[in-house]
Amino acid sequence: MLKYFKEISKYIGIVFFVILLILPPFAGLSPAGQRALAVFVLVLSFWVTHVLPLSVTSLLGIALLPLLNVMSLEQTFSLFGSKAIFFILGALILASGLYQTGLGSRLAFKIISFSGSSPLKLLYGILFSAAFLSLIMPAHAVAALLLPIVLEVVISLDLKPLESNYGKLLFLTMSWGAVIGGITTYLGGARNLLAVGLLEKHYGISIGFFEWIKYSWPLPTLLLIILAVIIAKFADIDIEDTSSSFEKLKAKSDARGGLSKSEKKMIAILGTVVLSWLFLSQLIDIAITALLGGVLIVAFKVVTWQEVEEYVNWGVILMYGGAVVVASSLVETGVTDWMSERFFSQLEIAPLLFVVLMAIFTSVLTEGVSNVASVAVILPLAYSAAEAYSLNPILLTLSVALSGGLAFLLPMGTPPNAIAFSSGYYEIKDALKWGLLLKVLGWIIYILVARFYWPLIGLDIFV
């Protein structure tokens, strides 16, 4: 049945691709924009159905853009050089150091020792660790730090890639914990600071660090609690206890004795990188720091380059890079502007419903376009449309930024998803199963927060 579904889905994507290519451009959309939309539809359908490997689908998208004169060859290839891609590359190299030196094994032992023999407690440990760390550092940095630790756990439990439900849950909770926690503070993601910057630019209004937390905290807190309940009540945990993992990791830790020279160097380099992410990100971009950290662990012989090559999932780099290129083509050719204008200009509805639909639109768009791009495109349009409604610009800013951070479905939606997917332990269909539910629950919680909590603390919908 699944085979036939894939075949049908593949042909549906191809049919829409061809239709968009031969139809005259939609009103307000350039010919290049319509061709970019056609490529996006085709690539998205292939990503979701996994007709081709994700990285191959991304390469197809990159090839089609200049072939169909959507963008020039040079512009298309230059977009592959997104800093998000190089952050993921540097982070995965650092993760290889944690894994190869055995430091990740030690950290995994510490985490699993707190959970005893309970698989559920271990899932909670990963989930809440990821969420907490994302309060103080970028969510994708958290995913990069936790990846080798979770990998040590699944290997110690002898969990098979793509087969073990528990293995899938470990990596998904790692990713989703980082995503949910990342919307809570400025430090969790660049879109939060971008949104505040746009608010200050347009209205001269600033939101302080703790003021943002005051507005944001109910959404991630309630979503984490609900996710924890879903895991406990409905998730298919196919192992009975984690005692074997504890024993194996303890044996490995005892056999190593004290910290090796490589581990000490790894701690020094990783500590420097994390401190830079925390305190120097305004001076040195986190992507540069991640790359420099990757260079240092090889230069100081923490690991060899051959070990790095064996660990890093290079297909994920290609997949995410292609996703950035295809999504960027929508921005460069004006498709995202056209979609936003069409969406907002057609609406003559109640103000609160307008804000809610705008937030949902942002949340949907961010699965295919980076959340930073989603915020950059939608917020200025929302500000313009909001003048007719006399809406509160702070409430608008929060609605777009918080909703834009809730990417749970596709690995190309946000770096934490891509990093977790690089483990090879789950497929897109596994993320869709629970990710779609989380998406809807996130919308419901957002609506409740906007309707009841924000007015309670003085943030009314109208200015």
Flag residues of the chain having pLDDT under 50. 2
Q: What does the domain layout of the chain look like in residue ranges?
A: 1-72, 83-315
**Residues 136 and 182 sit within 8 Å (Cβ to Cβ):** no
pLDDT for position 81: 73
**Residues 432 and 406 sit within 8 Å (Cβ to Cβ):** no
pTM, 2 dp: 0.75
- Distance of CA 121 to CAs 114, 125, 134, 228, 262, Å? 8, 6, 20, 10, 31
CB proximity list for 51: less than 8 A, separation 6 or greater: 6, 9, 10, 45, 57
**Cα gap 238→234, rounded to integer Å:** 12
pLDDT for position 218: 95
pLDDT for position 228: 94
pLDDT for position 344: 62
pLDDT for position 385: 67
pLDDT for position 387: 66
- In this structure, the chain runs to a length of 463
pLDDT for position 463: 63
